Amino acid sequence: MNAEEFRKAAHAAIEEIIDYYDTIQNRRVVSNVEPGYLRKLLPSSPPEEGEQWADIQKDIEAKIMPGLTHWQSPNFMAFFPANATYPSMLGELYSAAFTAPSFNWICSPAVTELETVVLDWLAQTLHLPNCFLSEGEGGGVIQGSASEATATVVVAARERYLTTACEGLEGKGREDRRDQTMSRLVVLGSDQSHSSLAKAALIAGVRYKSIPCSSENDLALTGANVQAALEQCKCEDLEPFFLLTTLGTTSTCAVDRFDEITTVIRETRSPGTIWIHVDAAYAGAALVCDEYAHIAKDFVAVDSFDMNMHKWLLTNFDASCLFVRNRKDLTSALSVTPSYLRNPFSDTGLVTDYRDWQIPLGRRFRALKIWFVLRTYGVNGLKAHIRRHITLGEKFANWIRGREDLFRIIAPPAFALTVLTVANPKLIDWGLLNEHTETKVSEGLATSDIMPHTSTTELDHTNSLTKSVYERINASGKVFLTSSVVNGVYAIRVVSANEKADEEHLRKAFEILVRTTEDIVGQAYK
Ligand code: PLP
């Protein structure tokens, strides 16, 4: 493809992308193709001769679109969103054009320096404590995903712990101490932590222990839970070196009690023994708003914090922003420098080589899209974006509350996420849903804990009603929701944080929920 052909092809592609966005809400939101559909549509080997762009482009609509689930559709209310925006796409376009895998500063100083600047901007915008800024000992780095960020800090924490444990030893003595300590190392998280923590422990070759969260505390990890887990580890001769806390858990958007947890760690462990990480993959975006800034104050006592701009902050996948209090913790653990990676600039120690802050060597120019987004929206634009979704979430939750005959909210609407179940009319008929229970439900507690008279069979029945509603709605392709099991209760999650979602889309989702539930419950009890 020469320059003139590229100009024509790129214009045609941009036109198609704009049309796609303009009409996306008319498409079936979740793909309904059968597994293996694409192989049947494509030749079994690549073409011998090159093809024209016009012919290639036609296959986007004909062959790829049927197999796409439209994450950018306003009817996509599943998982957490993956917001994409035009300024961010422009960042991707330039990044692809420059293609400069800038693992060392000298590979493209602009790539490294822009990353440092925009992550400092972002830290300020998120109201993070100054210890995470690059002007001190901390700093930020863009990772591919929150899972990658967790794996990276688990490895850094392991190395920091082992270095201290082996201090003063050399040779075989050092190796033996390292091996003995490794076999006792354990990563701690809560039973609501994202599964990427268990994977990080697997990658780092250490044990993983999850701490139970009680629904009395809205499924948040508390200081008391952590204290109990530390005591248990002591009894089992395990050495905890890493604790993952969460701002906005995946199932219910619970917020762990950072203040209590950091106090417990500070009071029971010597400084630096347990690395505390905050996984704020989705809800961290809300910290741009002044009304959430108080949460970030507690991060003054944690080692690292990660949030995905690629979830709720208008930036295309991938842009997971990891901040560390002490960048030396990363570089000491991850710096491996063969001769071919050495250069005079790195040797001075005056430049940042981001290869030492991450697992891979090569890296993309991802700072560009973050820069474009921050400049296009401005901090006020980001705040307005988050607040609009939170307001939509509250409206949606109020509509659900207005149909007590059909639904129960089992976790308080938080960060534009509402978690609900179908109300089992049998339980209502039997008077099991008494006043006490209703109050507790509205406070967001799980039904399994607050329906003392509810037998397993009744709970199973409620679960199966909710599951039927969920499955029928998703099969319709009109909206896409996700489910979760919270303390044994099958629940439907509705996220009102899609960039293109407005009140009309949430209202439509609510009406579909009502119609489907009336139908399924009606059939079950006729
Ligand atoms: N942490 C939390 C709380 C999440 O909800 C998710 C995904 O939704 C992740 C981590 C994993 O994110 P990623 O896909 O960026 O690895």
pLDDT above 50 for 451? no
Of the pLDDT bands very low, low, confident and very high (cuts 50, 70, 90), residue 477 is very high
Q: Kind of pairing, strands 407-414 and 482-486? A: unpaired
With the most atoms of ligand 1 within 8 angstroms of its CB, the residue from 308, 321, 359 to mutate is 308
pLDDT above 60 for 372? yes
> CATH top-level class for 379-524?
alpha beta
pLDDT at 427: 57
Annotation: CATH topology of 101-364:
Aspartate Aminotransferase; domain 2 (3.40.640)
Q: Where along the chain do its domains lie?
A: 3-68, 101-364, 379-524
Average pLDDT, the chain: 92
Task: Please give the radius of gyration of the chain, using alpha carbons only, rounded to the nearest integer.
Answer: 25
- Report yes or no: 291 and 127 within 8 Å, Cβ to Cβ: no
Residue 68's Cβ-count burial label (10 Å; 0-12, 13-18, 19+) is middle
Kind and range of the H or E run holding 123: helix 109-125
Tokens 């800034």 locate to: 293
Tally DSSP H helices, then E strands, for the chain: 20, 11
Looking at domain 3-68, its CATH architecture is Up-down Bundle (1.20)
Beta strands in 40-102 (DSSP E): none
Measured from the Cα of 282, ligand 1's closest atom is: 5
pLDDT at 412: 79
Cα(206) to ligand 1 centroid in Å equals 21
Ligand 1 lining (C-beta closer than 6 Å): 80, 145-147, 194, 196, 246, 248-250, 279, 281-282, 308, 320
Taking Cα atoms as reference points, which of 119, 200, 216 lies closest to residue 154? 200
Of the pLDDT bands very low, low, confident and very high (cuts 50, 70, 90), residue 526 is low
Taking Cα atoms as reference points, which of 81, 67, 441, 455 lies closest to residue 248? 81
pLDDT at 342: 81
Cα(246) to ligand 1 centroid in Å equals 10
More confident residue, 442 or 209: 209
* Beta-carbon count within 10 A of 129 CB: 18
- Report yes or no: 9 and 53 within 8 Å, Cβ to Cβ: yes
pLDDT, one tens digit per residue, over 47-104 is 999 999 999 999 999 999 999 999 999 999 999 999 999 999 999 999 999 999 999 9
Q: How many CA atoms lie within 13 A of 496 on its CB side?
A: 28
Alpha-carbon gap, residue 253 to 280, rounded angstroms: 10
pLDDT at 459: 85
pLDDT, one tens digit per residue, over 334-353 is 988 878 888 887 777 789 99
Residue 166's Cβ-count burial label (10 Å; 0-12, 13-18, 19+) is middle
Cα(308) to ligand 1 centroid in Å equals 8
pLDDT, one tens digit per residue, over 309-336 is 999 999 999 999 999 999 999 999 998 8
pLDDT above 60 for 437? no
Cα(147) to ligand 1 centroid in Å equals 6
Cα(258) to ligand 1 centroid in Å equals 19
pLDDT, one tens digit per residue, over 268-311 is 888 889 999 999 999 999 999 999 999 999 999 999 999 999 99
Alpha-carbon gap, residue 317 to 144, rounded angstroms: 8
With the most atoms of ligand 1 within 8 angstroms of its CB, the residue from 282, 305, 415 to mutate is 282
Q: What ipTM, to 2 d.p.?
A: 0.99
Question: Could you tell me which residues come within 8 angstroms of residue 478 by beta carbon, excluding any fewer than 6 positions away?
Answer: 28, 29, 75, 508, 512
